[in-house]
């Protein structure tokens, strides 16, 4: 989906190209129990809901966000872009604490961890040792935390790629290449 379709505030949003790669790496299936931790605007949750709708409408989505602005944006984007998906739940709270009451996930996207990535992954793999996790990291510190946690928690599969996107923007009679922040997309399978 185009980024312009989403209602946005001051919170960061996973851009369309990075969403496409991240959702591809998640490998969502009908009946998935999907957690979106640090959901921000809900862009990943909305796209996941649309994918699950296309696959028969089975599954549950839990968009977890600690910021009140994010909760409002997720609700608005859910109603505007994914209202047909009935299993879409918005959870206000800070991870990892608020994750304990959620059902065991089959798939998890972590777009923001508030510096508590290892603790979040411990809860995920404690609930489902075989969960598939995709993490987006824009800082090397988050990448390092993910790699360290993967080793300590014994992920069976680990893949790390970097996505760099640039767009050509017309400026007068010329086109300039405008780069976006590169993002590490980390896939872990327990």
Q: How far apart are CA 44 and CA 107, in angstroms?
A: 12
What are the CA-CA distances from residue 87 to residues 47, 49, 109, 164 (Å)?
13, 8, 17, 33
pLDDT at 97: 97
Taking only the tens place, the pLDDT of each residue in 40-73 is 999 999 999 999 988 887 899 999 999 999 999 9
Query: Which pLDDT does position 131 carry in this prediction?
Result: 97
The predicted model scores a pTM of 0.94
Q: For residue 160, name the pLDDT band (cuts at 50, 70, 90).
A: very high
Backbone φ and ψ for 174, nearest 5 degrees, come out as: -115, 165
Query: In this structure, are residues 138 and 161 in contact, taking their beta carbons and an 8 Å threshold?
Result: no
CA 66, 72, 73, 75 torsion-angle sign: positive
Question: Is the pLDDT at 154 greater than 90, yes or no?
Answer: no
Mean pLDDT of 154-181: 91
Domains contained in the chain, number: 1
Residues 34, 48: Cα–Cα separation, whole Å: 8
Q: Is 166 exposed, middle or buried (0-12, 13-18, 19+ CB in 10 A)?
A: exposed
Q: What is the spatial distance between Cα 118 and Cα 149, in angstroms, rounded to a whole number?
A: 5
Upper half-sphere CA count for residue 187 (Cβ side, 13 Å): 13
CATH number, residue 13: 3.40.50.150
Give the range of the structural domain holding residue 173, as residue numbers without chain letter.
3-189
> In degrees rounded to 5, what are phi and psi of residue 38?
75, 50
Distance CA 167, CA 175 (A): 9
């Amino acid at each position: 989906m185009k980024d312009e379709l989403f209602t946005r505030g001051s919170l960061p949003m996973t851009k369309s190209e990075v969403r496409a790669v991240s959702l591809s790496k998640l490998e969502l299936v009908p009946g998935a129990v999907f957690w979106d931790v640090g959901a921000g605007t809900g862009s990943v949750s909305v796209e996941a809901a649309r994918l699950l709708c296309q696959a028969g409408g089975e599954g549950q989505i839990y968009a977890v966000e600690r910021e009140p602005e994010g909760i409002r944006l997720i609700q608005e984007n859910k109603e505007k872009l994914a209202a047909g998906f009935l299993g879409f739940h918005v959870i206000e709270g800070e991870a990892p604490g608020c994750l304990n009451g959620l059902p065991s996930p089959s798939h998890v996207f972590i777009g923001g961890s508030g510096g508590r990535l290892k603790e979040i992954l411990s809860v995920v793999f404690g609930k489902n040792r075989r969960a598939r996790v995709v993490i987006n990291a824009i800082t090397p510190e988050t990448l390092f935390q993910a790699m360290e946690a993967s080793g300590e928690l014994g992920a069976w599969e680990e893949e790390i790629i970097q996505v760099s996107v640039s767009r050509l923007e017309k400026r007068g009679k010329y086109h300039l290449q405008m780069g976006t922040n590169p993002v590490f997309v980390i896939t872990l399978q327990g």
